[in-house]
Structure 1
């Protein structure tokens, strides 16, 4: 049962193979098994590749099954159309386009399986790329908010510096009137005289201005700090919104690009493995000698070709004979008076019918 299934997979004529030896049947069963398992690997590879695209098991398996059947049909067609004619050079020319197609199929099959085999390494590369993209995204978004935040922070510093300058002036006036009272500076008279009172009043007025300035600037600073907090929240919100796009940066194209960044030798060996699997039925049929199956198939095709040529020649001879007979018949009867009178009678009847029909049409119009 299984052997018969693999023989069908090989594309060989089962009726002819039944007349061949067991060894010949086993050879084509092996070729069919290779075709079947290649299609199975194509189904698995395509399903995995499409799962990374659709993220849905049913869609991936459905399209993967279609792809596997397509590869199966192509391989079966390639193997079944190779004919052994005993001339190696002609057979190589016959196989060359099929080998090129097999190489393309091997590349298409091996690439998704490479993605699965090196999945952990690819995930590491993707993680590093995501981190780079995350930092770049944060910096890019920060450029939109940074000028406004820096302007507000500068304004806060200016307000604080304004208070510090006023505080310095108040301290200087404080030291001045204290020194005047102690007699260490100014008039150098001990006690609280008119000069002391004047300096004290100036200090108190400036101190009042300082307190007012502190209250005003404190309100302004609080408002500016709230605006900075809002900008920081907007920045965090923007980063949060764009982060899922980066997190989903692991599609098929991204994984293939990440695979190309890994060492090429392991991937190359996997490709060679699938290339060997894909081309093995073709090479096996090319390198084997002409066997009983090939002779019987050639004999059957030759018999069919001979039969077609015989029918063609017979039809051509029959057509020529028919032409010759018809020419003689018409040549013999062309001068017969009876035939002439009969055709003349029929022609007259036809003309009369046409005249009557024309008359009726014209009468209906009038």
Structure 2
């Protein structure tokens, strides 16, 4: 039962194989088994690849099954259309398009399985890329907020500088009136005289202005700091909004690109493995000698070809004969007087009608 199933998978003529030797049946059963298991591997590979895209098990299995059947049909077609010839060169020319198609199929099948085999290494590459993308994303978003943030911080620094300048002025006035009271500067008279009082009044006025400036600038600084806080909130919000896009950067194309950054030799050997599996039925047919099945198939095809060619030749001969008979018939008819007179009278009547019609047309024109 299983052997018969694999023979069907090989695309060979089951009626011919039934009357062939056991060795021939086993050879084509082996070819069919290769075709079948290649389709199974294609189903598994495509299901995994589509799962990375759709992230849905049932959808992936459904599309994977369709892809597996398609690969099975292509492989079966490729193997069944390769026929043994009397010239090895003719067989190679016949198999060249099939080999090219087999290489393409091997690439399509092997790539998703490579993604699964090297999944851990690919995840590591993707993690590094995601981290780099996260930092780059934060830097790019920061460029949108940095100028405004710098301007706000500069405004705070300006307000604080005003306070510090005023404090320095007040401190200088304080030292002036204290020195006047101690007699170490100014009039150098010990005690609190009129000059001391004048300098003290200037200090008190400046001190009051300082307190007012502190209160005013404190309110301004609080407003600016609130703006800075809002700016920071907007930055964090934008980073948090864009981060899921980066976290989701693990689709099929991203994984294929990550696979390309890994050492090429392991992937190449996996590709060679599937290439060998995919092309093995073709090479098996090319390298094997012409067997019993091939002779019987050739006999059947040539028999039909001979019958068709014979029928075509017979039709061509019948057509040529019919042409010759027609030529003789019309030659004999052309020599009969009765036919000549009949045709002469009809031609004369036709020419008379033409002349009358031309005459009437000329009358109308005049």
TM-score (structure 2 length as normaliser): 0.88
1:93, CA displacement in angstroms? 2.0
Deviations 1:249-306 (A, max 9, x none): 1121111111110011110110010001001001111111111000111111111111
Structure 2 stretches lacking a partner, 5+ long: 347-366
Question: Which residue of 1 is the match for residue 134 of structure 2?
Answer: 134
Query: Which sits farther off after the overlay, 158-167 or 174-183?
Result: 174-183
Aligned counterparts of 2:329 and 2:158: Cα–Cα separation in 1: 125
Deviations 1:169-188 (A, max 9, x none): 21222122222222333223
Aligned counterparts of 2:212 and 2:332: Cα–Cα separation in 1: 140
1:29, CA displacement in angstroms? 0.6
The reply on whether 1:55 has 2:55 as its aligned counterpart is yes
Question: Which residue of 2 is the match for residue 193 of structure 1?
Answer: 193
Equivalence map 1:162-181=2 (5 Å):
162-181=162-181
The reply on whether 1:316 has 2:316 as its aligned counterpart is yes
Query: Which sits farther off after the overlay, 326-335 or 205-214?
Result: 326-335
Give the CA RMSD over aligned residues. 2.6
Secondary structure of 2:20 counterpart: coil
Deviations 1:41-83 (A, max 9, x none): 1122122222222333333223322222221121111111111
Aligned counterparts of 2:159 and 2:335: Cα–Cα separation in 1: 132
Question: Which residue of 2 is the match for residue 146 of structure 1?
Answer: 146
Question: Which residue of 2 is the match for residue 9 of structure 1?
Answer: 9
Aligned counterparts of 1:205 and 1:335: Cα–Cα separation in 2: 148
TM-score (structure 1 length as normaliser): 0.88
Question: Which residue of 1 is the match for residue 261 of structure 2?
Answer: 261
Structure 1 stretches lacking a partner, 5+ long: 348-366
Question: Which residue of 2 is the match for residue 73 of structure 1?
Answer: 73
Count of aligned residue pairs for this structure pair: 352
1:202, CA displacement in angstroms? 1.0
Question: Which residue of 2 is the match for residue 295 of structure 1?
Answer: 295
Aligned counterparts of 2:82 and 2:8: Cα–Cα separation in 1: 16
1:244, CA displacement in angstroms? 1.7
Aligned counterparts of 1:188 and 1:326: Cα–Cα separation in 2: 155
Secondary structure of 1:169 counterpart: helix
Aligned counterparts of 1:317 and 1:217: Cα–Cα separation in 2: 116
Alignment CA distance shift 1:333-1:174 (3 Å): closer
Aligned counterparts of 1:163 and 1:214: Cα–Cα separation in 2: 6
The reply on whether 1:212 has 2:220 as its aligned counterpart is no
Question: Which residue of 1 is the match for residue 356 of structure 2?
Answer: none
Alignment CA distance shift 1:301-1:243 (3 Å): same
Query: Which sits farther off after the overlay, 218-227 or 171-180?
Result: 171-180
Secondary structure of 1:215 counterpart: helix
Aligned counterparts of 1:141 and 1:41: Cα–Cα separation in 2: 45
Query: Which sits farther off after the overlay, 302-311 or 147-156?
Result: 302-311
